[in-house]
Amino acid sequence: MAKLLNYQQSGSGKDIILIHGLFGRLENLNMVAKALAENFRVTSVDVRNHGNSFHHSVMNYPAMAQDIADVMQHLAINSAVVLGHSMGGKIAMELALTTPELVEKLIVADIAPVEYPPHHSQIIAGLKSLDFSVIMQRKDADKQLAKYVDDVGVRQFLLRNLSTENGQLTFKCSIDNIAKNYPQIMKTYQGSNSYQGPTLFIKGANSDYILPEHRTEILRLFPQSRARVIQGAGHWLHAEKTIAFNRSVEGFLAN
């Protein structure tokens, strides 16, 4: 039997599934889940090697999309709206392109169906350097990580993965598995399908993850797609501009 991702559910009604990004966990999308739960049954997941989900040495998009399909089967969800941010958006796209019958509508937050150059090497090096034999408090971990990651906001985001187990601080993500699979995580969909269902790409105006040159590939794979731009937001657009992000999602789902 397949291992099942950790998940949380809230609300009732038609189903929507939320998938977080790299180094995240399901709580990252709580403000989206809370708003959607007023009208939908929301299932938020921890991706493999993240949060409270299982760790696994394989971490490619076909495997991660199958994880979502397994959760849906477990919960007897025949079809759902699927919303993913960043890496979670790529998982959502993979699911829609390979098993379109499972995806009623698709929402992709600030990621394109393209291969990206590696750009997390300092983060991975910093996380691998954390020495929990001497880290007693969050501030100790922050001090170590600051040698590799200058941005305070990024460090705060990463350090949300700190957890205490048996009195010892640990890191929820499997950094070794993520590091080993990082080239796979940067890749994009490898098949030839297209998804014909309604699709919304939401871009942070200050983010460079979705660029004009990606438009052709987006329309090739997702011919029924439309785009929204959130002004004043970067890559973490759902956290930076939650009201505007939720309004975009709700408007798309109302049609």
Interhelix angle 175-186/121-129, rounded to 10 degrees, is: 170
**pLDDT tens digits for 48-77?**
999 999 999 999 999 999 999 999 999 999
The confidence band for 133, taking pLDDT boundaries of 50, 70 and 90, is confident
Model pLDDT, residue 164: 87
3-state SS string for the chain:
CCCCCCEEEEECCEEEEEECCCCCCHHHHHHHHHHHCCCEEEEEECCCCCCCCCCCCCCCHHHHHHHHHHHHHHCCCCCEEEEEECHHHHHHHHHHHHCHHHEEEEEEECCCCCCCCCCCHHHHHHHHHCCCCCCCCHHHHHHHHCCCCCCHHHHHHHHCCEEEECCEEEECCCHHHHHHHHHHHHCCCCCCCCCCCCEEEEEECCCCCCCHHHHHHHHHHCCCEEEEEECCCCCCHHHHCHHHHHHHHHHHHHC
Task: Report the largest interatomic distance among the alpha carbons of the chain, rounded to a whole angstrom.
Answer: 54
Q: Which residues are catalytic?
A: 86, 176, 235
Q: Report CA Rg, the chain.
A: 18
Interhelix angle 87-98/61-74, rounded to 10 degrees, is: 70
Asked if residues 42 and 77 have their Cβ atoms less than 8 Å apart, the reply is no
The confidence band for 1, taking pLDDT boundaries of 50, 70 and 90, is low
**pLDDT tens digits for 4-50?**
999 999 999 999 999 999 999 999 999 999 999 999 999 999 999 99
**pLDDT tens digits for 186-242?**
999 999 999 999 999 999 999 999 999 999 999 999 999 999 999 999 999 999 999
H or E, element range at 251: helix 242-254
Fold of 7-115+187-254: Rossmann fold (3.40.50)
Model pLDDT, residue 165: 82
Model pLDDT, residue 190: 92
**pLDDT tens digits for 140-187?**
999 999 999 999 999 999 999 999 887 788 899 999 999 999 999 999
Model pLDDT, residue 111: 98
Locate the domains of the chain by residue range: 7-115+187-254, 121-180
Residue 83 pairs in a beta bridge with 18, 107
Residue 80 has pLDDT above 90, yes or no: yes
Model pLDDT, residue 84: 98
